[in-house]
Amino acid sequence: MIFERVKSEGIAHISYFIGSNSEAVVIDPRRDCQVYIDLARREEMKIKYIFETHRNEDYVIGSLELAHFTGAKIYHGPGLDFKYGERLKDGQEFHFGILKLIAVHTPGHTDESVSYALADLTVGEEPIMVFTGDALFVGDVGRTDLYGHKEATRLAGNLYDSIFNKLLPLGDKVILCPAHGAGSVCGGPISEREQSTLGLERIQNPVLQKTKREDFIQFKITEHHERPPYFRKMEQYNLNGPPLLGHLPNPTPLTPKEFQEQMQLGAVAVDIRMPPAFGGAHIKGSYSIWLDGLPSLAGWMLPYDKPILLMLEDEEQLERAIRYLVRLGYNEIACYLGGGIEAWYNEALPIKHISLLTVQDLKKRLDRGDDLLTLDVRRKDEWDNGHIEGALHIYVGHLEDRLREVSVDRPIAVICNVGHRASLGASILRREGYQEVYNVLGGMTAWKNAGYTIVR
C-alpha cells in the first residue's frame, strides 16, 4: 500500500494519493496535478478514481485536469448537481488493489460533503483510515456558515450528526485524514499537527468536547469566519468544472518600461517580496502580498478580469507564485518584472517607501500622545483575543470596502500579527492616496513579547 499526503501550502490543503498493487486513487486533487501523475509513474500505478469530498470553495479542484491526463473516473457526494463526474451514493464501495473505500455521507460543511473510510482487505473490513474532507479536522471542525445565516443552524446540526453519529463510531483507532491543515480559511484554529486519529480528536478536539447537540450548534452558529469574494468564483468553477490548463502558465519577463505601461493600461501589480523589502522600496500602486500569503489573500484583492503583474524577490519565486495563483483560478498570469525592483530603480523610475515601525517606536509615539491611528487588520478572532487600546479594527480583506472609516489626515500605523498582512494593509492605503502610513514590524507578536499591555 502506498499512502502519500500532498500538501498545498498557503491554502493548507491536503490531498491524498493511495495506491495498492497497480491501482491508485486520488482524493481532492489540486489543479497543478503533475504531482499525482509523477507519483503514479514512480509506483507504476494507474489512477483509477478521483474522489472529491465536497465542492470546495477556497481553491479550484483539479479533478478534471487530472482526469484529462489519466482517464480516471471522478466521483462526487450526493446532494448537489455537479456538471462533471458522477454522483455516488452513501455507502457505495470502491475497490482498488487490496483496498476498499466506502463513501460515508457527512453533510454539515456542505450538503454534499462525503467522507471516505478505507479498509485494508488483507486484514479485514474494519476501517483503518477516514478521509473527512472539511467535516473534521485535527483540532477543529468544518465551518457551517457557507449557506448563509438562515441555513447555519441546519448545517451545524447536520455536522454534529455526521461527526458524532457517523465518523466517531468508526472507532478511536481510525487514522484521521482531513482536507485541510493549519492556516486554512475553511476552519478555525486547526492544529499545526497533521497526525491524528478519531480517538485523539474525541478527547482533544475542543469542538468535540461540546457533546450535546445544542451546545455544538450554538457554538457553531456564533463562530465568525471571513468569506473572501473569490469563493464565488471557486464555487462556480467547482460546480461546473474549471477550464483545462494542460500546463502551467508561462509569464513573460517585462522590462521596467513595459511593466510601467502595463500598469498604466490597468494591469494590477502584486509585489510578493517580504515586508522589509517592500517597505524599503516598491512601485507606486502595487499591492504587497508576500509570496506565501498569495493563497489566502490574493482572492480578496486581485480581479479576475485584469492582467496580473508580479514583482519578485528573485526568479525562484516565480513558479510558486504561478501555482498559488492558478489554484485560485487566475489562469493567466501575464508577466513579471525581469530583474526585479533593481531593474526598476536602475532605470531611475520612481520608487516609494513605507516606513517600518518597531513596537518600541509605536509605544513611544502612542505614549506621548501623537496623533497616530493604530489600524489592526487581523481577523476578528485574533482581535478579540487581545489588541492595543484605542486601535481601530478592520480586517485586511475588508479594508478597501471600508476606507471611509479610516481618516486620510492622520498618520496610520498598520498592525497585524507579525507584519505581513499589515504590509498589505499599508499598501492598500498607499494605493488610495494615504500619505503617512507605517507598518509595525513584528506586529502584535512583538508587542506582546515586549511586554506591552493589551485589551480585550
Q: Which of residues 358-377 bind a second copy (CB under 8 A)?
A: 358-360
Which span (81-89, 193-201, 262-270, 293-301) binds a second copy, by CB under 8 A? 193-201
- State phi, psi for 432 to the nearest 5 degrees: -90, 5
CB of 197 to a second copy, least distance (A): 5
Q: CB atoms < 10 A from the CB of 238, how many?
A: 26
Cβ nearer to a second copy, comparing 79 with 171: 171
Footprint (CB under 8 A) of a second copy, residues 257-276: 273-276
Q: Does 325 bind a second copy (CB under 8 A)?
A: no
Cα atoms in the 13 Å half-sphere on the side-chain side of 140: 24
Site for a second copy in 377-406 (CB under 8 A): none
Q: Measured from the CB of residue 87, what is the shortest distance to a second copy in angstroms?
A: 26
Residue 439: phi and psi, rounded to 5, are -110, 125
* CB-nearer residue toward a second copy: 72 or 372: 72
Q: Which of 95, 100, 154, 202 binds a second copy (CB under 8 A)?
A: 202
Residue 171 CA to residue 314 CA, distance in Å, equals: 49
- For residue 66, count CB atoms less than 10 angstroms from its CB and return exposed for 0-12, middle for 13-18, buried for 19 or more: buried
The window from 87-95, 144-152, 200-208, 303-311 that contacts a second copy (CB under 8 A) reads 200-208
Please state, in angstroms and as integers, the Cα–Cα distance from residue 149 to each residue in 30, 96, 153, 225, 226, following that order.
Answer: 30, 41, 8, 12, 13
Which one of 80-88, 100-108, 150-158, 435-443 is the stretch in contact with a second copy (CB under 8 A)?
435-443
- Look at residues 329, 306, 307 and name the one whose alpha carbon lies nearest to residue 243: 329
The residue among 222 and 250 lying less far from a second copy, judged by its C-beta, is 250
Residue from 255, 392, 400, 411 in contact with a second copy (CB under 8 A): 255
What's 162's DSSP letter? I
Cβ-contact 61, 28 below 8 angstroms: yes
Q: SS3 for 107?
A: coil
Q: How far is CA 270 from CA 1, 340, 344, 419, 424, in A?
A: 43, 12, 15, 17, 10
Ordered DSSP codes for 423-452: HHHHHHHHHTT--SEEEETTHHHHHHHTT-
Give the footprint of a second copy on residues 13-42 (CB under 8 A): 22, 37, 41-42
* Candidate residues 89, 193, 232, 380; the one interacting with a second copy per rule CB under 8 A: 193
SS (H, E, C) 405-420: HCCCCCCEEEECCCCH
**Beta partners for 104?**
115
CB of 356 to a second copy, least distance (A): 6
Q: Binding to a second copy (CB under 8 A): which residues in 113-172?
A: 120, 122-124, 126, 128-129, 139, 171-172
Examine residue 436 and tell whether it contacts a second copy (CB under 8 A).
Answer: no
The three-state DSSP-derived secondary structure of 307-330 is CEEEECCCCCHHHHHHHHHHHCCC
Task: Give the whole-angstrom CA distance, residue 173 versus residue 299.
Answer: 38
Kindly state the smallest distance separating residue 207's Cβ from a second copy, in Å: 13
Chain residues 223-252 in contact with a second copy, contact rule CB under 8 A: 246-247, 250, 252
Closer CB to a second copy, 189 or 390, in the complex: 189
339 lines the binding site for a second copy (CB under 8 A): yes
Cell of 188: 478555525
The residue from 86, 89, 147, 195 that contacts a second copy (CB under 8 A) is: 195
Taking CB under 8 A as the criterion, which residues in 281-320 touch a second copy?
Answer: 281, 313, 315-316, 318
Residue 333: count of CB within 10 angstroms of its CB = 22
Nearest CB to a second copy, comparing residues 156 and 310: 310
Q: Give the dihedral of Cα atoms 100, 106, 110, 116; nearest 10 deg.
A: -10
Q: Given the rule CB under 8 A, which of 85-93, 156-164, 337-345, 384-392 is the region that contacts a second copy?
A: 337-345
Output 8 or 113, the one with its CB closest to a second copy: 8
Residue choice 9, 69, 392, 400 for contact with a second copy (CB under 8 A): 69
Q: Give the total of residues touching a second copy (CB under 8 A).
A: 83
Contact criterion met (CB below 8 Å) for 396 and 300: yes
Contact indicator for 262, 253 with CB cutoff of 8 Å: no
Which segment (85-93, 198-206, 297-305, 365-373) binds a second copy by CB under 8 A? 198-206
Beta carbon nearer to a second copy, 347 or 370:
347
**Min CB(10)–a second copy separation in Å:** 15
Binding span for a second copy by CB under 8 A among 221-229, 235-243, 335-343, 394-402: 335-343
User: Looking at 168, 321, 341, 413, which residue binds a second copy (CB under 8 A)?
Assistant: 341
Q: Residue 332, interface with a second copy (CB under 8 A)?
A: no
